Homo-oligomer: A and B are copies of this chain.
Amino acid sequence: MTEPRWLSDTEMRAWLGYRRMRRLLDLRINRDLAADAGLSEQDYDVLSILSELPDPAIRVGELSERLLWTRSGLSRHLGRMEQRGLVTREDDPDDARGTVVALTETGRGAIRGAAPGHVDSVRRHLIDRLTPAELQVLGDIAEKVLDN
């Protein structure tokens, strides 16, 4: 193996900064969300997707792709959310192998109630700390990283 190209100061600062930001930012926002609405970040993500859907229900597999989650993890999480009355699961009438997930009224109420506080939290901890130019670049960076 040839000598690797170690990271320069700027590169190291960006990498370590990203790592610490990830930890602290997620910690703060999740804490706010749990305190304000009694929801985890994962709950919020699921509810958010369901509430913005044109259809009343979505296949578990498609939901897992949108969330970038494994099916098994999602299955377990949906079980917990179902028990709390946030979502329902029913057999897909079009494909007996499948299951469709839908929001309950409780779930819809939960996301409606949680959204304002969550947006405020995201603003306080991230968005409002950055300039418009920085927000633009952050979007660019994410796009480049995700572009496989």
Contacts and interface: CB of A to CB of B under 8 A. Distances in A.
Interface in A99-127: 115-117, 119-120, 122-123, 125-127
Best-buried of A16, A123, A138 by chain B (most CB within 10 Å) = A138
Which 6 interchain pairs have the tightest Cβ spacing? A17-B142, A4-B116, A13-B139, A21-B142, A14-B138, A14-B135
A1 interface: yes
Interface size range of chain A in the complex: 35 or more
A76 interface: no
A34 interface: no
15 contacts: A4-B116, A7-B127, A10-B132, A14-B130, A14-B136, A17-B146, A22-B26, A23-B68, A24-B146, A25-B145, A27-B68, A125-B145, A130-B144, A134-B144, A137-B138
Given A119-B7, A122-B15, A145-B25, A20 B68 contact: yes
Interface in A1-44: 1, 3-7, 10-11, 13-18, 20-27
Could you say how many copies of this chain the assembly holds? Answer: 2
A140 interface: yes
A55 interface: no
A94 interface: no
Contacts of A97: none
B145 A14 contact: no
Contacts of A144: 129-130, 134
